[in-house]
Structure 1
Amino acid sequence: MKVPALLLLFIAGTLGQSCVGRCGVNDGVSGCQCNSVCSNYGDCCSDYEAVCFSCKDRCGEGYVYSKPCQCNNECGSHGNCCSDYDVECGGGTGGGVTDTDLRNLMEELYSLDVNSVGNQLVLDHQGQGSSGDLAPESLFVSVPESALTGPTISLLRQLQDNYIPSVSFAEDEDAAEVAEQEAFLDAVMATQVMQRAETFLTEKNLLSGSLRDKLKEIWFMMYTRSGSILGSSGFEHVFVGELKNGVVSGFHNWVSFYQEELDGNLNYMGWSKKVDLGDKGEIINDHFEWLGEPKNTGSMMVGTSPELDMAMFTVCFLARPDSKCPTQMNGQQFQVQTHPSDYDGHVLVGSAYPVI
């Protein structure tokens, strides 16, 4: 007589040799254990990974303290989804965001972006390598005025000169600078790129309330990177650049790069990788010196609009926090790495940049 598999699992569980019904438990009696430290002691049950680290039959359940990973529509924002969450729950009742969802969205945002100016820029990449000065000339050969006067790039430029590079000095936002932030947020939210991103995030239960409010919080709220000094924000770090402990920190925006190069503050020193994004621009890994300090490994989108960059970074920050986020534009697959910064009860953008 053949015994059904489920019955065998039940029998094994009752004998303390299975993790069925025992995830998170250490009873000190059974022959094997099913808790977070069993791997340290080498006494995990043979089905520990399959039972306790899987979303099979768990999609949409609430937070379960005893489980080492979760299978609900909030696990992505907390970074504690089980490894098979996308496979088991993606697109289904679990409300998960799959890798395919993200790549399809990014292609859609790319197609909706009308303010990118990659086809107007002329670059001189020069020497390829990861160290040494391989580029005697500037990266940007020609940037016509028309590339800088668009409805969102022009407002981005107004914002970028509001910041002190060193994180050791407190930022002092006056009324005029706050007004520039508000104007920039209004402009990017008026674009189809941001409106589509907002719809996606709301549908995937990654956003409650307005995207504009979320952008203002995670990108522009000041926090500290040096003691108690409020000298940093996600926007300054990513879209402007900062100096910390004798090196360049952040600095992942081409408009800031171009302006600092034009002003004589930045020495471009070469590139190591690049990805063609068609007439909207490219992604480049580079190294350079800014205000006399080094950036040994940098990356940025070049030619893309601020709303495309910010929408991409924001979606990845909320859907794949503190991890590499699968992305695709112009048929080219790459990733976006985000890092959170916790401050005063808020989870803010610590960093965000493309990875190729």
Structure 2
Amino acid sequence: MNEKITVHQRERSGQMAPFLFANIYFTVIFIVGSNFVSSLKIREISVRNFQAIVASLWEADTSRQRLILNNQQSKLFPPKTLTKYQTKPTVEKLLEIFKIYDDEKAIDGLDQQLLDVKVKQFLYELVRTRVFTILRDKLKLYDVPSAENVDEFTKFIYDIWFKRYKRKSTGKMGSSAFQHVFIGESNEETNEVSGLHNWIRYSYLEEKGLIQYDPYKGYMREFVATISYKLNGKSKPFGSMFVGTSPEFEMAVFTLCYLFMPGDEKCRFLLSDCTQIKATTRPLQNSQFDTHKNPSSIEHVPLGTAYPVVGEVVKDCNFYEEMVPAPPVAVPAWGNRNTVDTLFG
């Protein structure tokens, strides 16, 4: 695994590629904002080194659960799944955020002030997990400026996951990568669920009796699955998620792919069961985050979506590649922090 993945400076735009159901591999696709054109330049990293980082994050994810999903009944998850898992600090804070989004008593819509408080509490726990401590340490090896201290790192994670933006130029301010991936959104034009790629959220909705699974059309592996369902009258023909992994692992891996392999570069790694993963990032144009004015502002650009798709199992894979620091190469200026949300002051 000595192949080099090089992400060089480029300008690219386009629409999200269609799902390739016939291809048997793991794909993680990121859409950054809406119609975003990006000029990016990130240092190279070898496939071996990337795999080593993923393996170290996986080993640090001691909160991971081994769940056996039941795809033949109305209940997908084992009984009391969340009861056994909700005492984990990041999960506890995540569930508190879920409750804000699902508060039916909120007459004036989402309580943004309370949400900001809960997000800050969640981030506090998140960046202090073993998984995120390792992620920050690894990013330091590649001279990522925001990894130098916890405060800057927290702001960076907030920027790409929680910074609010419009999905459409005529839409409302309020969407975010976190909301799209961990909460789910409604596409009024297609009457479908948009996003929602987190197993904890699915389990939460299942316990509330809010989700109805369709006859099984997907596939399941030990740590990843696809499902078809209806939620609040809206359908999701194809939804994918990691299974049993912690919020910190999912956000760390997605962040890692986003940083090192944006655009059409392939982000490849294996899970411990040797399931292969490929990742594609595709920045699109959004006037809120116009990097033509600041081509090195990737740290400020939020994700639009991130999700896994099941892939083949690689025989005799070497999951635990030894980490070898990358050779020093030129790293571009990453811009400043003038656009940081006021949540962190």
Tell me, yes or no, whether TM beats 0.5: yes
Aligned counterpart for 2:288 among listed residues 335, 344, 349: 344
Q: Percent sequence identity over matched residues? A: 28
Q: Which residue of 2 aligns with 1:152?
A: 90
Alignment of 1:285-296 (within 5 A): 285-296=226-237
Structure 1 residues 204 and 171: CA distance shift in structure 2, 3 A? farther
1:327 CA displacement: 2.1
Q: Which residue of 1 aligns with 2:251?
A: 310
Structure 1 residues 171 and 328: CA distance shift in structure 2, 3 A? farther
Question: Contact 1:317–1:339 at 8 Å: present in 2 too?
Answer: no
Question: Contact 1:288–1:296 at 8 Å: present in 2 too?
Answer: yes
Q: Which residue of 2 aligns with 1:197?
A: 135
Aligned counterpart for 1:140 among listed residues 72, 77, 90: 77
Q: Which residue of 1 aligns with 2:193?
A: 248
Secondary structure of residue in 2 paired with 1:152: helix
Structure 1 residues 216 and 171: CA distance shift in structure 2, 3 A? farther
Q: Which residue of 2 aligns with 1:275?
A: 221
Question: Contact 2:100–2:110 at 8 Å: present in 1 too?
Answer: no
Alignment of 1:1-356 (within 5 A): 95-116=43-64, 118-119=65-66, 121-126=67-72, 136-144=73-81, 145-163=83-101, 172-209=110-147, 210-226=152-168, 227-244=170-187, 245=189, 246-269=191-214, 270-276=216-222, 282-323=223-264, 324-330=266-272, 331-340=274-283, 342=286, 344-345=288-289, 346-356=300-310
Structure 1 residues 179 and 340: CA distance shift in structure 2, 3 A? farther
Measure the CA separation in 2 of the matches of 1:296 and 1:174: 31
Question: Contact 1:266–1:290 at 8 Å: present in 2 too?
Answer: yes
Secondary structure of residue in 2 paired with 1:97: strand
Letter in 2 for 1:220: F
1:292 CA displacement: 1.4
Secondary structure of residue in 1 paired with 2:158: helix
Residue deviations 1:67-90 (CA, integer Å, cap 9, x gap):
xxxxxxxxxxx6878xxxxxxxxx
1:64 CA displacement: 10
Question: Contact 1:336–1:352 at 8 Å: present in 2 too?
Answer: no
Measure the CA separation in 2 of the matches of 1:216 and 1:160: 17
Question: Contact 1:266–1:289 at 8 Å: present in 2 too?
Answer: yes
Measure the CA separation in 2 of the matches of 1:182 and 1:64: 34
Aligned length: 255
Larger radius of gyration: 1
1:146 CA displacement: 2.2
Secondary structure of residue in 2 paired with 1:352: coil
